[in-house]
Amino acid sequence: MSDPTPSDPNHPEPVIIGQYPTEIQASFAMNALREAGIRCEMVGGASSGFKAESPGYVRLLVPETEVEKARQILADFDAEKADDDPVNDPADNSSDNKD
């Protein structure tokens, strides 16, 4: 039996598709990928959030065969998340206190 090669469609190589400072943020992105039918794994959760010289990040891995689809899903997810962020809402002028 031989080891799987990167070009083996039954065993595609994992590719880092994103990295996040916390496991919670990575979980939201991972759920978006999984809901779209993309296999996704999270690594690095144990080292994220450390207050050290070089804190770790949580990374999301997808099969190399699904990288393009995953990038589009994450781009849509990030755009939707930005639309829901009240801090970045241009229609909200509550911080413009003009006395």
Tell me the pLDDT tens digit for each residue of 8-21: 767 889 999 999 98
Q: What is the distance between the alpha carbons of residues 23 and 10, in angstroms, rounded to a whole number?
A: 29
pLDDT of residue 38: 96
How much is the mean pLDDT over the chain?
79
What CATH number labels 14-84? 3.30.70
Write phi, then psi, for 53 (nearest 5 degrees). Answer: -60, -40
C-alpha gyration radius of the chain: 18
Q: What is the distance between the alpha carbons of residues 66 and 77, in angstroms, rounded to a whole number?
A: 16
- 56 pairs with which residues across the strands? 48
Arithmetic mean of pLDDT, 37-59: 76
Residue that has been written with the tokens 């779209």 in this structure: 36
In the predicted structure, residue 72 carries a pLDDT above the cut 80: yes
pLDDT of residue 56: 79
Mean pLDDT lowest for which of 22-26, 29-33, 70-74, 88-92?
Answer: 88-92
Is there a contact between 65 and 7 (Cβ–Cβ < 8 Å)?
Answer: no
Q: What is the distance between the alpha carbons of residues 92 and 21, in angstroms, rounded to a whole number?
A: 27
More confident residue, 30 or 90: 30
